[in-house]
């Protein structure tokens, strides 16, 4: 949060078991995070 002050107060998610290619390792979880963010507006 010190490096990106605008991120303070925003929801943060840890994608479990995702490594270098996290978009492949954690695709279902990432998709759900995006769906939830869009639903919040």
DSSP string for residues in 1-41: --S-GGGTTS-----TT--TTHHHHTHHHHHHHHHHHHHH-
**Predicted confidence (pLDDT) per residue in 1-41, tens digit:** 578 888 888 888 899 888 999 899 999 999 999 999 999 88
- pLDDT given for residue 34 in this prediction: 94
pTM above 0.75, yes or no: no
- pLDDT given for residue 36 in this prediction: 94
User: Where in the chain are the domains?
Assistant: 11-40
- pLDDT given for residue 29 in this prediction: 94
- pLDDT given for residue 1 in this prediction: 56
């Amino acid at each position: 949060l010190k490096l990106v002050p605008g991120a303070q107060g925003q929801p943060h998610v840890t994608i479990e078991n995702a490594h270098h290619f996290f978009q492949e390792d954690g695709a279902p979880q990432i998709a759900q995070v995006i769906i939830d963010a869009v639903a919040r507006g």
